A = this chain, B = another copy of it.
Amino acid sequence: MLKIGIIGATGYTGLELLRLLQRHPAAEIAWLTSENSAGQRFGAAFAVPPPIGEHTLVKLADADLAAADVVFCCLPHAASQAPVAAARAAGARVIDLSADYRLHDPAVYEAWYNHPHEQTALLAEAVYGLPELYRPEIARAALVANPGCYPTSVILGLAPLARCGWLAGTIIADSKSGVSGAGRTPTLKTHFVEASENFSPYNIGRVHRHLVEMEQELRLAEGAAQNGWQLIFSPHLLPVNRGILSTIYVNLPAGVTEAQVREQYADAYRAEPFVNLLPAGQVATLAHTVHTNYIAIALTFVPNTQTLIVTASIDNLVKGASGQAIQNLNIMHGLDERMGLL
C-alpha cells in the first residue's frame, strides 16, 4: 500500500483527494495537515461520511514526512514552494497541485505570480503532470506539477492542432468555471447571493495567470516551428459548484480540412483512458464530465469558413485537480491508470 500524505487537506482539492483515495485499493492515508484545524478530525471541517471524517489533522511541522511514499501538496501558490522541497528532502515523491512548479522559467513565474522562485533546482526537475502529453516523464518523476484546471481544458483542447503547427492568428478561449475553482475562502464574489442567478467575466484581456501556463505547453507541443499565434483567455464565473467548459475558437490555416483535423484528434486521444472525444454533431457540456476524471472534447466546424470551435469540458476538482493528481500517482507507480478513478 502506498502511504499518502496531504499537505493543506482542508480545501476542496484536499476533500476531493480523500473522496477518491477512499476508493483506491493501493493507497492509504498516512497523515493530513492543516495549520488552522490541526488537532481536529477531518469531519470537523467538512460534512463527510465517517470513514473520511475520522482522520485527524496535524500541523505540517508535526507530520512525519518520511512516513509518506507520496505527498500531495494542496496549498496556494507561493506557499507550496518550501513544503514541496521539504517533502522531497524527506524522500517522498510529490504531486503539487499549486502553480509553483508548473512554469519552467522562474522569471516567468515571478513576473506572473509576483513572488520569486526560491526552489529553482527542484523546479528544473519538475514534470508538468498532464498524462496525455507527458506520460513517460511522469512515470519516472519525483516531482509532478499538477496542471491548472483551466489549462487542462484548453491545452488538451488544442494540443493536436499545436503538434501539427495548425495554431494561427488570434485564438479565443472563452472559459466558464464553477465556483469551487475559486477555493473555499468566503469572499463577496463567491457569496451565494452574489454568485447565484449571476454570471460574470473576470480577469479578461490576457491578465489571468493560467494564460501563461497554456502558452508554455502549447508552444512546447508545437515544437521548433513557432507560428505567430496569440491566445486570448477569458474566464467567467458560472453559478454551479463544479465544472469548466472552454469554448475555443481557432482559425485553421488555409487548406487544413475537417477530415484532417478529426483524424489528428482521433489519433492523439484514441488510447487515452480519460479523453472522451465526442462524435461529430455533438458538443461538450458539463454533464459529460462532472464527478468524473474525463475530459470531453468536441469539434464543430463552421461551414464555409476555416473556423473550428473546440468545446472542452472537465470537472475542475477531478480532471482539473485531484483526479488528475491520482492519475499521475497511478502512472508514477506503474498502477492501472484508472485505479480509483472510475
Using CB atoms and an 8 Å cutoff, list the residues of chain A in contact with chain B: 12, 22-23, 46-51, 170, 172, 174, 176, 179-180, 184, 186-188, 190-202, 204-206, 230, 232, 234, 236, 238-243, 245, 247, 249, 251, 276, 283-292, 294, 296, 300-303, 305, 307, 309, 311, 342
Contacts and interface: CB of A to CB of B under 8 A. Distances in A.
Contact of A176 (B199, B286, B305): B199
For the complex of A and B, 10 pairs with smallest distance between CB atoms: A186-B186, A200-B285, A47-B287, A174-B174, A179-B192, A192-B195, A47-B288, A201-B283, A186-B191, A205-B300
B193 A241 contact: yes
Contact of A243 (B180, B194, B199, B284): B199
A244 B284 CA distance: 20
Nearest to A308: B205
Contact of A291 (B204, B251, B291, B303): B291
A50 B293 CA distance: 12
Contacts of A305: 170, 206, 230, 232
Contact of A188 (B174, B184, B196, B276): B184
B283 A200 contact: yes
Nearest to A294: B49
A301 B205 contact: yes
Given A174-B174, A238-B238, A342-B51, A199 B230 contact: no
30 contacts: A22-B342, A23-B342, A47-B287, A50-B294, A174-B174, A179-B196, A184-B191, A186-B187, A186-B188, A191-B191, A191-B192, A194-B287, A196-B196, A197-B197, A197-B242, A198-B240, A199-B243, A199-B245, A200-B283, A201-B285, A201-B311, A204-B300, A206-B302, A206-B305, A232-B307, A236-B245, A238-B238, A239-B240, A249-B249, A291-B291
A195 B286 CA distance: 10
A27 to B, nearest CB: 13
Contact of A179 (B193, B204, B287, B291): B193
A205 to B, nearest CB: 5
Contacts of A291: 291
A199 B47 CA distance: 12
Contacts of A187: 186
A190 B188 contact: no
A172 B206 CA distance: 17
Contacts of A188: 184, 186
Contacts of A236: 176, 245, 247
B285 A204 contact: no
Contacts of A240: 196-199, 239
